[in-house]
Structure 1
Amino acid sequence: MGRFVNTENKVVVSVADHKDKRFASPLWEAYTGSDSAPAAEGYEALTVPKLKAEIERRNADRDEADRVSSEGRKPDLVAALEADDKAGGGIVPTGH
């Protein structure tokens, strides 16, 4: 059974091997991590627009004081997401 992560909303799904080919698109990537948010190397692989989209997703239901900063260059965005993960804000749903 293969696992894939949606590059836009970070949802992880498990797929029967005979259906793996359905997930051959830029929207899906093979998932090799744990059931939590992508590790630092995962964020490094994302583009700036995808990093900002992840930050926007996380900030959607947060108070102004609790929001993840979307300012700065790529290293700043990666650091902000990593700090949010350590604080417990980047939990990714699985098994949908």
Structure 2
Amino acid sequence: MEYGHRYPAYPTQEVAGELERHIDIHRQAYNYTRYEYENVDADNIGSTYKHHYRLPDWKDQFVSSEVNSKALQRTVTRFYDNLDGLSEQKQNGRKVGKLR
């Protein structure tokens, strides 16, 4: 289990704008990972590491180069962690839907 530390932050307007932009980029990367997982042939995709190899192409296509590649890798990993969590719940007999 991962633990996240939470501290109050009081950013300036300029910093808050940058934070929102970066959060939006990670949202797009998460949704694009989900799209590729659902719509690309399972032989070509389906693991975290295969998605990590695609990240340099993504950065050229739609992501700003200012975003750290390790952070984007973490976003892709988070998708697969969420997918594993849903499959575990399904195996335990719970009704689960799709990732959103």
Structures share fold, TM-score greater than 0.5: no
**Relative contact order (alpha carbons < 8 A, sep ≥ 6): 1 or 2 greater?**
1
Q: Which structure has the greater CA radius of gyration?
A: 2
Structure in which a larger fraction of residues adopt strand: 1
